[in-house]
Amino acid sequence: MLAVLSLLVVMALGFVVTRVATVALTLTGLSQESARFQARSAFTGCGFTTAEAEAVVGHPVRRKIVLVLMQLGSYGFVGAAATLFLSFVNVPDQRALLLRSGVLFGGCLLLILVARSAWIERRLARLIGAVLRRVTDLDVRDYHSLLRLSEGFAISELSVEPEDWLAHRSLAELNLLGEGITVLSIRRADGDHVAVPHGATVVVPGDLLLLYGHADAIARLDERKAGRAGEVEHARAVASEEERLRAQDERDAAHGHVRADAEDAPLPPPSAGQGEQG
């Protein structure tokens, strides 16, 4: 039984390690999906020759993170395999075998549920990100790919998948500026680069968007899928951004940063580049 519990501990540590590495890689500018894939790839030792992998290898901070993952993965899986073997040899009777199998199955199921929980992932990402920013200098050293700004705002990448809410829609339709997110550029799958895209620009699967906005808002956008649920999330995000802008205007007015004749003026419509096309 001790061997089975040890195996579950090893698996749990593997989940935590890859989650920390994923957040660390996102701090260097990788999209959440790309960071998750690269972290798991490095930890499991499965190499993939892709443009994303080359971006990791060519970046000094990302390269260090991946090297640590490779080392931890090479140690962990050998130990896990040995622990699994020891768990089911010299079992005294069938009851003990069934008990160990049940504990192993239940523990694996629990770990899978935890790993797939969006609620847990968001809170873990927030906690790990705060710790990494406090104890490391990733933000300071990573001028090449990412500019982290104050109060949670950041410039980050987002990879568009076929089932995403963003896919096959123009920027004017998406109205991301209404959510407080600005599209700075788009890198197409064929390598073409769209700098300062306008409202008629269509987002397609395979695109890599460079976005500016609140890190949490970008993370939620990265998880948003097409369909009615995606439209509801968009409406909520717009309402939340409007509330944030009102609070910001109130703070500015309290400090005299808003002209008296502009305090009651309505917010300007989205620019042609990000919202309704002019």
Number of residues assigned to the chain: 278
pLDDT recorded at residue 178: 94
Residue pair 166/230 in contact (Cβ under 8 Å)? The answer is no
pLDDT recorded at residue 272: 45
Any idea which fold 149-278 has? Alpha-Beta Plaits (3.30.70)
What distance lies between CA 7 and its chain's CA centroid? 28
pLDDT recorded at residue 4: 61
From first to last of its 278 residues, the chain has per-residue pLDDT tens of 555 666 666 667 777 788 888 888 877 777 777 788 888 888 777 766 566 676 677 677 777 888 788 877 766 655 666 666 666 666 677 787 788 778 878 887 887 787 777 787 777 777 776 776 676 655 444 444 444 455 677 788 899 999 999 999 999 999 999 999 999 999 999 989 999 899 999 999 999 999 988 888 998 999 999 999 999 999 999 999 999 889 888 888 888 776 655 545 555 454 444 554 43
Angle between helices 118-135 and 2-26 (to 10 degrees): 70
pLDDT recorded at residue 148: 47
pLDDT recorded at residue 122: 75
Does the pTM surpass 0.75? The reply is: no
Residue pair 15/72 in contact (Cβ under 8 Å)? The answer is no
pLDDT recorded at residue 62: 79
pLDDT recorded at residue 161: 93
pLDDT recorded at residue 144: 40
User: Where along the chain do its domains lie?
Assistant: 2-138, 149-278
Q: Which residues pair with 154 in a beta bridge?
A: 148, 213
| 190: three-class secondary structure by DSSP | coil
Q: What is the DSSP letter of 265?
A: P
